[in-house]
Structure 1
Amino acid sequence: MVAKKKEGAMKQIIFILMLVQIATFQMFFSILPCSAQDGEIETNAADQTDLSVTIYNQDMALIKEQRSVTLPKGEVTLAIRDVSGRIIPETALLSSDDIRVLEQNFEFDLLTPESLLKKFTGKTIKIIRENRETGQEKTVEAKVLSTHNGIVLETGSGIETGLPGRLVFSHIPGNLRTSPTLTMTVQSIKAENRNLALSYLTHGLSWKADYVAELNPDDDRLNLSAWVTLTNTSSTDYTNARLQLVAGDIHLAPQQNQDRANPLMMRASAMAEDGFVQEQMFEYHLYTLGRQTTLKNNQTKQVALLQAENIPCQKEYRLSGNGYWFARNVGDGIQRPKVEVLLNLENSKNNNLGMPLPKGTVRVYKTDTRGMLQFAGEDNIDHTPEGGRLNLKLGNAFDITVEKRQTDFRKLPSTGQDTFQFQSSHDIRIMNAKKVPVTVKIYESMPGDWHIQKESHPHKKETAHQALWEIQVPPENQIALTYTVKTK
């Protein structure tokens, strides 16, 4: 038992030493000066003369940029740095006058202390050791034997493990890149400086709409502002980019297709000075920011989308039932379903809106009697065109309660094979503790063929399988809805 404990403790010590070794190695390694790979023309973000980013709802973006690059005549390898680390390589398209692309590769094996050391396995590096007493440094050569679960080196003194000092590498291997790089072999007709147009699709860029609504004291009008929330996790910065957003659900093939056309822009329908201009694009909607912006890697940015005031809205109290009440005996128990509170409004110009609203989250606030803004609830909306309706579920009513029970149930004789008939009676009691009257809409889902035989309040047949009662309840009072229904 003691031996096993000692063995376990030793394993923990070795594991901790390995972690310390790797962390220390990341702090104390260096590379001798090196230049770009032989025969390779390199271009980075500093060469960009134009950049535009179009972001879609499905964690995808179209990057279009132009770079000023001097190319010699003949065949040359062009290394395009500072592209997205999550690029879809097969969608990359490079175009310019008098050049032809022969081959392209995406280099994503990035330079890190671990990857650099691994590339030098079987090769010689230098170790700089410092005498702790004198402070003098001594350089020795070592061969990297293994980097698996630690470092194993061969020096003139023998085989060593652990980190013996600072490691010095003579160069960066050709297949290691300091940033995501797209390399292309191109044929240039003549030597000159030219603008190269590069476009590609990438993951790692997304956007969503966030709406903030503020209700008035009477809950019948609101002010609405919308923000676009942009997120960049593509491992690349996009500086001074022209930004466009596409709202809509674009179909993506299960396997990436190499032949993807750039979207064609169509007619504009709304203008903004520095905000977003909205226009129709194919079966979607395009929002173009009226100024340039910068999207940094691992950053979330918010940009104003719209602002509208004094929008008419209607508060609705809704009770929704289930179809199983009508085809079985549920017993004498009382159910107490919650009454939902909804806020309904129409996206129309007459209501001071009337522009396509991208899907997102609407958060509703209301000012209390002390002038403090309070959160009232939130709901998600889908893409909503002009003329569409927003039905926002904000929560459940506190002062409106319901008791629901089945007062009678009978299974009637069958009228044919695989045909069943039922008759059931129901009592729904709505209690209003408010000091103002309320109207509660009761939606019941009716299965099969159904017919209301008798009822205390008239209903409307909303759909083939839904009945609606609108019950007005006086302040601090209660109303009972009773009905009998036959279902088949």
Structure 2
Amino acid sequence: MKFMLLFVTLLALFPSVLSAQDIKNARLVVQQNGQALVTELRPLTLPKGEGGVLLPDLPGTIDPQSLQVRSRTAPRDLDIRDLTLDDDLLTPANLLRRHLGKQVTLIMPDGKTRDGRTRKEATLLSVDEAPVFLIDGTVYAGPYEAIIYPELPKGLSPRPRLAMNVHNSGPARQDIELTYIARELSWRMDYVLAMNKAATSGQLTGWVTLQNRSGANFTETHAELLAGEPRSAQQFSPRAMFAAKAMSAPESMDAASAPEELFEYHLYRLKRPVTLANQQSRQVQLFDSRRLDVSRKLLGRANALPSGREAEPIKERLDAVISFRNAEALGLGLPLPKGTLRAFQQEGETKHFLGEAPVERTPVGGLVELRLGQVFDINVERVALEFERTGKNSYRCTWELRLKNAKKTPQRVVLQELVPGDWKVHSASQKWSRPSAGVLEFAVDVPAATEQEPHLVRYTFTTEL
């Protein structure tokens, strides 16, 4: 990268400028949508009467419009007149802009050998699109390896800074509370289900992964996890000036306290403070359940209205679906946040990965149903025996479903035929049900070893769209 050498040089020359300061005495309410409400307490020395105060080291992803500032020590004695966010950050683009019309040094290919390099003194003429330089009296817009700047411009900061104009009639030393929304702070939920060989029971564990890409370090921070989806009106740009009035490696920790309802969401409080550095992920165990009863079914789902072009049998794959109840008697009984579940089969000391599936938000007492993968030894072939248009928007159809079971034991298969319109079944080779308005369902017991002579299900229906 062209600017890699630049930043390596700056890190060596200005380590104290570029090092991010930790944010202490903070509380995070982290959402799953990539943002968090941050409340931090900073002890500051304030001027008497009118004056200005600088608060450095804010997260680079701060939402300026969400910022609120107040004094915890003497709220009635501190009048915050206005706030100014200075986010002229130390970036390659800002360095180029600040050196427009000035002299810099370019590291360039020497044009003699493939790996040869040379240094050229150049004047920066333009920063629109690709930079344009004046070198030895000629205009140059070609390739270069790096830019070496003669100095670090004043005012550039590695992180946004907040300037406050205040009128203070209280003590000089006060605790100032900052509340704001920061992006690139999020959490996700991961579930691990270790099932027995028969897949009839298992052990469910819930892990939270906290991710910090905000540009700030949070040390010994009290974290809360908000499960739900608060609406965000719009994306923000941190490059703004405004005025306002005050208003790593996985670590096993204690489980969270019992969740609390917050508006139409749920809030999980971690029992221990967490340290979360910038560009770091950290895992926290949310819960570990006791024995969990698991149900399994083999599910096929297909459209029942043919296209009229079915010349050959249609091969249909079955899904392996597991389900369990979010019940307190099974060791759960807390609202389950949305996340990803990974299922394993436990045989002694050996675990085998069975698949993963998304988990939707599930209240207490709700059913969790997961499709882990496709069934290997049971196949379905669909043959359209009849497809007749009986009116402008009405049809008559007959299907033959050929089920083949290569297992040594009989298997129950659930086939769901998706039927549109106002439909009626005229004949069926076995019992069927209507679990919902557009679903015709067969629960089929397929005998063992039917890979040569398939087990047949045939039905005829009419529908008016």
**TM-score category (smaller protein):** 0.7 to 0.9
Deviations 1:388-411 (CA, angstroms, capped at 9, x unpaired): 111110111111111210122333
Count of residue pairs brought into register by the alignment: 418
Q: Structure 1 472/187 Cα, relative in aligned 2: closer, same or farther at 3 Å?
A: same
Matched, 1:297 2:278: yes
1:69 lines up with 2:44 in the alignment: yes
Q: Superposition pairs for residues 201-240 of structure 1, below 5 Å?
A: 201-240=181-220
Aligned residue number for residue 69 of structure 2: 94
1:337 maps to which of 311, 316, 319? 316
C-alpha RMSD over aligned residues: 3.5
Question: Structure 1: which 5+ residue stretches go unaligned?
Answer: 1-15, 37-43, 126-141, 261-272
Secondary structure of the residue that 1:447 maps to in structure 2? coil
**Kindly tell me: are residues 166 and 298 of structure 1, through their superposed partners in 2, closer, same or farther at Cα, counting changes over 3 Å?**
closer
1:134 corresponds to: none
Would you say 1:466 and 2:439 are equivalent positions?
yes
Deviation of 1:66 after TM superposition, in Å, equals: 0.6
The code of the aligned residue for 1:292 comes to P
Cα distance, 1:24 vs structure 2: 5.5
SS of 2:271's partner is strand
| Residue pairs, 1:141-156, within 5 angstroms | 149=131
- SS class of match (2:362): coil
CA contact (8 A) 1:59 1:204 kept: yes
Per mean C-alpha deviation after superposition, the further-off stretch among 334-343 and 181-190 is 181-190
Summarize the Cα distance change of 1:160–1:24 in structure 2 as closer, same or farther, 3 Å threshold: farther
* Partner amino acid, structure 2, of 1:377: G
Q: Which residue of 245, 248, 253 corresponds with 2:233?
A: 253
CA displacement, residues 300-347 of structure 1 (integer Å, 9 cap, x when unaligned): 11111111132111111011120432xx53444211100111001111
For residues 80-100 of structure 1, the C-alpha deviation after alignment (integer angstroms, 9 at most, x for no partner) is: 112110101111111012111
Superposed, which structure 2 residues align to 1:117-156 within 5 Å?
Answer: 118-119=97-98, 149=131
* Structure 2, unpaired ranges of 5+: 105-120, 237-241, 245-252
Q: 1:57 and 1:405 mapped to 2: Cα distance?
A: 45
Where does 1:386-425 land on structure 2 (aligned, <5 Å)? 386-412=364-390, 414=391, 419-425=392-398
Query: For the pair shown, which has the larger CA radius of gyration, 1 or 2?
Result: 1
Give the equivalent residue in structure 2 for 1:438: 411
**Do the aligned residues in 1 keep the contact of 2:68 with 2:180 (CA within 8 Å)?**
yes
Distance 2:138 2:374 in 1: 72
**Which has the higher relative contact order, 1 or 2, with Cα contacts under 8 A spaced 6 or more apart?**
2
Do 2:79 and 2:168's aligned partners in 1 also have CA atoms closer than 8 Å? yes
2:430 to 457, 464, 488: 457
The one-letter amino acid paired with 1:350 is A
- CA-to-aligned-CA distance 1:409-441 (integer Å, 9 cap, x gap): 3333x4xxxx53322221111111111221100
Distance 1:469 1:335 in 2: 18
> In 2, distance between residues paired with 1:406 and 1:168?
78
Match of residue 175 from structure 2: 195
Cα distance in 1, alignment partners of residues 382 and 99 from structure 2: 76
CA distance in 2, matches of 1:166, 1:361: 47
Alignment partners' CA distance in 2, 1:487 and 1:375? 43
| Secondary structure class of the residue paired with 1:350 | helix
Deviation at 1:178, TM superposition (A): 3.8
Distance 1:480 1:160 in 2: 80
2:249 counterpart of 1:274 = no
Q: Distance in 1 between matches of 2:103 and 2:423?
A: 86
Which structure dedicates a bigger proportion of its chain to helix? 1
| Sequence identity (%) | 29
Which residue is 1:486 aligned to? 462
Deviates more, 1:285-294 or 1:95-104: 95-104
Q: Is the contact made by 1:247 and 1:285 (CA closer than 8 Å) also made in structure 2?
A: yes
SS in 1 for 2:316: coil
